[in-house]
Amino acid sequence: MKREALLAEISQRRTDVSKKARRYRRLNIALLVASLFFGLLATTLAGDSAAEGKLVAANVAEATTGKVPSTLPPGWRNVCRLIAICTFLGTAATGISSGLKIAENQSKATLCVGQLNAMQIELLDENQDEATLRRLQDDLLKVYKDYPEYFL
């Protein structure tokens, strides 16, 4: 494989894998933010409900029932439903992130991009001998073998 063709292939592959790495990073951040947001919301609602709804829960109960809640607010079930939904969403986001191994894929994709970058930098020197080009071609095949999921 000629230097220019190898450089073009590595450049294209690096671009493709970089896109996937960015996608994993965005998905990981979105799921983490969702998990934190809904976990904090559920905690706030549950904590406020435990304190007889003086801050938020009483207002939620009043908004859902149309009545100012008594000591045991009639909207208690609505507050519990909100807590359950928020907790479910937060837990689901964490589970999805773990199940899809988002952080692991993000790390592997970043490593793959780093290897492709190193090969591309080495190819910037236009005076590569045939042995170096063969080694870089072998290195590229090894990257394909080590990270096949990013080249589909």
> Which pLDDT value is given to residue 51?
67
Q: How many separate domains does the chain show?
A: 1
> Which pLDDT value is given to residue 73?
64
| Global model pTM greater than 0.85 | no
Q: How far apart are the first and last CA of the chain?
A: 22
The whole domain housing 25 covers 3-150
- Are 102 and 31 in contact by the 8 Å Cβ rule? The answer is yes
CA distance 36 to 81: 19
Q: What is the pLDDT of residues 61-117, one digit of tens each?
A: 778 888 776 665 667 778 878 888 998 999 889 888 888 888 898 999 999 999 999
